[in-house]
A = this chain, B = another copy of it.
Amino acid sequence: MAVFAGQGDAARSMPLLWREKGAAGHRHGPGPKPGLTVDAVVSAAIGVADDANVAGLSMRAVAERLGVTAMALYTYVPGKNELVDLIYDGVHAELPTDGRPASGWRAAVTAWAEDLVALYVRHPWALQVSFARPVLGPHEQAVLEALVRILRETGAGAEVLRRVVSVLFHLVRGTARTIAEARIAPTAGSTSEQEWWAGRAAQLAEVVPDFAERFPQTMWLAGAGAARTGDGQTPYLEHEAREALAVGLAVLLDGLEAGTIAVPSRGR
């Protein structure tokens, strides 16, 4: 159940993160030819992280996937923390870095957000990683670069856009987290979403019989107008999460378009 915190030593992570992949004719010097590459280790680790739902990323598991002992990995990677930094940046390479053909910046921002949500849903462990760390690697940086490129079309200033960018990342990561939760939860019991929620509700009713009296507002929020069925394909919770993202995006982009986003006076 242990997970990770992306606490790799930046001084050791960064040369690996920004390593030149193209330089194929790299010096090699004496010694046996390496049987592995950093890329191989990274993609094996991504595979392990994707499979073992959150926790089971261990050096031994990665090594086994490569047919090697755990200690062999330390030839390519300084330690587990740095490996986590590498796989975190690595998955961001899956995103389309350059402008897809979108009509206008609003559509482009929306597409950017949906791509990023999809990425985090594919690799939910990534949402656990970047704690106590700024942007470190090239692929994550490219994601930011692509967003800013889109947003500059609005003509807004850097101070405003910095805030907009922050809010966008919070919305995307929060949404992805909710969706990932919604997907993982029923998987454990292998029941349908409805069954899972019914079981949970029954449990709650037994432990807290007076729930409705103690939390009337929550009852109202959950109950009112909730047909409680998704569109048949997307589970209900996930559908809700995506709607919430749409709302957040809409109000933010409205504000940006209207130019009503305030910048604090400089002397503040």
If A7-B54, A247-B164 touch, does A181 touch B131 (CB 8 Å cutoff)? yes
Q: Shortest CB–CB separation between residue A153 and chain B, in angstroms? A: 11
Please determine whether A4 and B7 come into contact, CB atoms closer than 8 angstroms: no
Please determine whether B217 and A18 come into contact, CB atoms closer than 8 angstroms: no
If A10-B200, A170-B170, A261-B250 touch, does A163 touch B131 (CB 8 Å cutoff)? no
Chain A 173-213, CB within 8 Å of chain B: the 1/0 string? 11101101100110000000000000010011001100000
- How many angstroms between the C-alpha atoms of A55 and B84 in the bound complex? 15
Contact of A185 among B132, B162, B200, B251 (CB under 8 A): B132
Contact of A174 among B169, B215, B255 (CB under 8 A): B169
Q: Determine the interface band of chain A, counting residues with CB < 8 A from chain B.
A: 35 or more
Q: Which of A30-38, A65-73, A101-109, A143-151 contacts B (4 or more CB under 8 A)?
A: A143-151
- How many angstroms between the C-alpha atoms of A171 and B251 in the bound complex? 13
Please determine whether B224 and A145 come into contact, CB atoms closer than 8 angstroms: no
Which chain B residue lies CB-closest to A135?
A: B218
Please determine whether B240 and A203 come into contact, CB atoms closer than 8 angstroms: no
Q: For residue A134, which residues in chain B have a CB less than 8 angstroms away from its CB?
A: 181, 185, 200
Q: For residue A15, which residues in chain B have a CB less than 8 angstroms away from its CB?
A: 207
Contact of A248 among B149, B170, B227, B268 (CB under 8 A): B170
- How many angstroms between the C-alpha atoms of A224 and B223 in the bound complex? 48
Please determine whether A11 and B203 come into contact, CB atoms closer than 8 angstroms: yes
Please determine whether B247 and A264 come into contact, CB atoms closer than 8 angstroms: no
Q: For residue A251, which residues in chain B have a CB less than 8 angstroms away from its CB?
A: 167, 251-252, 254-255, 260-261
Cβ-closest 10 pairs across A and B? A170-B174, A2-B2, A158-B224, A166-B244, A251-B255, A148-B217, A167-B248, A163-B247, A163-B244, A132-B184
